[in-house]
């Protein structure tokens, strides 16, 4: 192992320290830990193995490039807080992860991939019931979507440009008897769990694991007028976002589940319903006793796209995040979001309103594992400490 310190040519402003740090995970496979000090003037990287001087120089150049691309000319977004319930008193202030592992409620399969036990499953069902009630209040139509998504779908909505770092690809063996025979005879994993098979054995990539739920609905409506000019739908699905060394416990998963309520129609229809869903959830979160706030936010765009896209999202208030309090580290975690995509999907996928103009879309999205995790960070794993509504649902 080797630790190196890099002094960025441009200081990293306070509000970008978290975003830049998360992107350092993708700079080089050798990086196993990245830290930025509070002043934004020093980056410390832990490397998997010592590196030669030329490789180190190249790594440093890549780090400098990330910092300058993300920070130069960046304007600090004005964060608007729409709800602040951070002061709700909650009884617990540890990280429940270790306890959950000991209680066989949480079992890590590989980085960012977990199985959940009966209590966590019931707790997620409790939150699901709240989200399904919200969906029913809009008479949302239920849908089921696949876990795989065609590459050409993501290409058509510019996903490759915006979030290349978090993509997960699906492939299979080529239809070739020699390749399949070779695999059957020799496939094995090394001690890090990597398959020992050559890339030539695998077919070209046509599909990925889906990074979001609502895209599937927009594609099913593509290239035609939207019947009736408006719709509300709901679905739950597996989502995949590869987060390299940022994958930690239930806080950040590679494979997680998301419940979405999706609004499609004209601008007012989408914005009004996004607002109504926020207000209805505010009441539900109050009953549950969650400490959280809702504030304007941006998506984690990749380095080159970050500055412009994030500023655009903030300026037009396209994303509100529900950030639950994590008392053990005095920070917050996004457990859900209220999103407005303007006519982005309507334009790119040619979905039209009765007057021929593109539809507007929006979605309310909840990360189910994060919801349960944030709740347990606030209330602990001892159900005697839980709010009645939750305890009664989970334990009867
Ligand atoms: P968004 O579409 O706003 O990025 O994601 C919607 C919700 O999905 C987030 O608010 C969060 O609850 C959940 N989510 C997004 N990324 C992750 C992740 O890496 N891990 C987990 N556990 N949940 C995530
Ligand atoms: Zn969505």
The 10s digit of each residue's pLDDT in 52-94 is 999 999 999 999 999 999 998 888 889 999 999 999 999 999 9
> Which of 240, 258, 318, 366 best tests ligand 1's pocket when mutated (most atoms within 8 Å of CB)?
258
The answer to whether the CB of 243 falls within 8 A of the CB of 254 is yes
Of all protein residues, the one whose alpha carbon is nearest to atom 18 of ligand 1 is 252
What pLDDT is stored for residue 313 in this prediction?
Answer: 94
What pLDDT is stored for residue 73 in this prediction?
Answer: 85
What pLDDT is stored for residue 227 in this prediction?
Answer: 96
Q: Which parts of the chain have pLDDT scores under 50?
A: none
Ligand 1 atom having least distance to the Cα of 251: 22
Q: Where are the domains of the chain?
A: 2-71, 81-145+211-395, 169-201
Find out whether the beta carbon of 241 lies less than 6 Å from any atom of ligand 1.
yes
Instruction: Give distance in angstroms: CA of 395 to centre of ligand 2.
Output: 32
Find out whether the beta carbon of 365 lies less than 6 Å from any atom of ligand 1.
yes
As a whole number of angstroms, the longest Cα–Cα distance in the chain is 64
Between the alpha carbon of residue 260 and those of residues 131, 217, 234, 293, the distances in Å are 8, 11, 6, 19
Find out whether the beta carbon of 256 lies less than 6 Å from any atom of ligand 1.
yes
Find out whether the beta carbon of 295 lies less than 6 Å from any atom of ligand 1.
no
What pLDDT is stored for residue 51 in this prediction?
Answer: 93
Find out whether the beta carbon of 260 lies less than 6 Å from any atom of ligand 1.
no
**What ligand has the least distance to the C-alpha of 297?**
1
The answer to whether the CB of 169 falls within 8 A of the CB of 187 is no
Q: What whole-number distance in Å separates Cα of residue 94 and Cα of residue 204? A: 46
Find out whether the beta carbon of 266 lies less than 6 Å from any atom of ligand 1.
no
**What ligand has the least distance to the C-alpha of 322?**
1
Find out whether the beta carbon of 253 lies less than 6 Å from any atom of ligand 1.
yes
Average pLDDT along the chain? 96
> Which of 112, 114, 340, 365 best tests ligand 1's pocket when mutated (most atoms within 8 Å of CB)?
365
What pLDDT is stored for residue 204 in this prediction?
Answer: 97
Instruction: Give distance in angstroms: CA of 277 to centre of ligand 1.
Output: 18
Instruction: Give distance in angstroms: CA of 188 to centre of ligand 1.
Output: 33
Instruction: Give distance in angstroms: CA of 131 to centre of ligand 2.
Output: 14
What pLDDT is stored for residue 248 in this prediction?
Answer: 85
Between the alpha carbon of residue 142 and those of residues 44, 133, 149, 235, 345, the distances in Å are 48, 12, 19, 6, 20
- DSSP 8-class letter at 329: G
**What ligand has the least distance to the C-alpha of 246?**
1
Q: Where are the alpha helices (DSSP H) in 289-385?
A: 303-315, 344-348, 368-379
Q: Using DSSP, state whether 24 is helix, strand or coil.
A: helix
- DSSP 8-class letter at 192: T
Fold exhibited by the domain 2-71: Alpha-Beta Plaits (3.30.70)
Residue ranges of E strands in 204-358: 207-209, 224-225, 231-240, 255-265, 292-296, 319-326, 331-340, 351-352
**What ligand has the least distance to the C-alpha of 270?**
2
Instruction: Give distance in angstroms: CA of 333 to centre of ligand 1.
Output: 9
Between the alpha carbon of residue 179 and those of residues 193, 200, 202, 204, 211, the distances in Å are 21, 8, 8, 14, 30
**What ligand has the least distance to the C-alpha of 319?**
1
Find out whether the beta carbon of 210 lies less than 6 Å from any atom of ligand 1.
no
35: how many CB neighbours lie within 10 A of its CB?
14
Instruction: Give distance in angstroms: CA of 57 to centre of ligand 1.
Output: 35
> Which of 332, 367, 376 best tests ligand 1's pocket when mutated (most atoms within 8 Å of CB)?
367
Going by CATH, does the domain composed of 81-145+211-395 fall within 3.40.50.300? no
Instruction: Give distance in angstroms: CA of 338 to centre of ligand 2.
Output: 9
Find out whether the beta carbon of 149 lies less than 6 Å from any atom of ligand 1.
no
């Amino acid at each position: 192992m080797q630790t190196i310190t890099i002094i960025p040519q441009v200081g990293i402003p306070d509000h970008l320290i978290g975003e830049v740090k998360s992107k350092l995970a993708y700079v080089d496979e050798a990086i196993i830990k990245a830290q930025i000090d509070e002043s934004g003037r020093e980056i410390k990287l832990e490397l998997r193995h010592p590196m030669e001087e030329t490789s180190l120089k190249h790594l440093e150049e890549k780090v400098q490039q990330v910092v300058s691309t993300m920070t130069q000319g960046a304007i600090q977004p004005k964060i608007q807080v729409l709800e602040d319930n951070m002061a709700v008193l909650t009884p617990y202030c540890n990280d429940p992860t270790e306890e959950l592992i000991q209680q066989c409620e949480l079992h890590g399969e590989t980085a960012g991939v977990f199985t959940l036990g009966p209590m966590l499953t019931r707790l997620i069902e409790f939150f699901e019931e709240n989200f399904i009630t919200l969906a029913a209040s809009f008479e949302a139509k239920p849908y089921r979507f696949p876990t795989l998504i065609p590459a050409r779908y993501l290409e058509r909505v510019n996903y490759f440009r915006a979030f290349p770092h978090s993509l997960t690809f699906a492939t299979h063996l080529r239809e070739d008897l020699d390749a399949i025979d070779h695999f059957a005879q020799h496939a094995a994993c090394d001690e890090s769990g990597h398959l020992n098979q050559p890339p030539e054995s695998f077919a070209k990539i046509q599909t990925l694991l889906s990074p979001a739920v609502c895209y599937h609905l927009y594609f099913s409506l593509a290239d035609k007028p939207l019947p009736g000019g408006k719709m509300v739908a709901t679905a739950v699905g597996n989502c995949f976002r590869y987060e390299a060394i940022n994958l930690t416990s239930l806080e950040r998963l590679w494979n997680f589940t998301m419940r979405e309520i999706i609004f499609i129609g004209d601008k007012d229809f989408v914005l009004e319903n996004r607002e109504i869903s926020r207000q209805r959830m505010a009441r539900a979160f109050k009953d549950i006793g969650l400490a959280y706030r809702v504030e304007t936010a941006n998506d984690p765009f990749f380095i080159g796209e970050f500055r412009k896209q994030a500023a655009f999202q903030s300026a037009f208030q396209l994303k509100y995040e529900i950030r639950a309090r994590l008392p053990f580290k005095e920070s917050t975690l996004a457990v859900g979001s209220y999103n407005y995509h303007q006519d982005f999907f309507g334009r790119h996928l040619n979905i039209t309103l009765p007057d021929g103009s593109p539809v507007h879309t929006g979605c309310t999205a909840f990360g189910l594992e994060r919801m349960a995790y944030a709740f347990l960070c606030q209330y602990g794993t001892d159900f005697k400490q839980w709010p009645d509504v939750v305890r009664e649902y989970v334990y009867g």
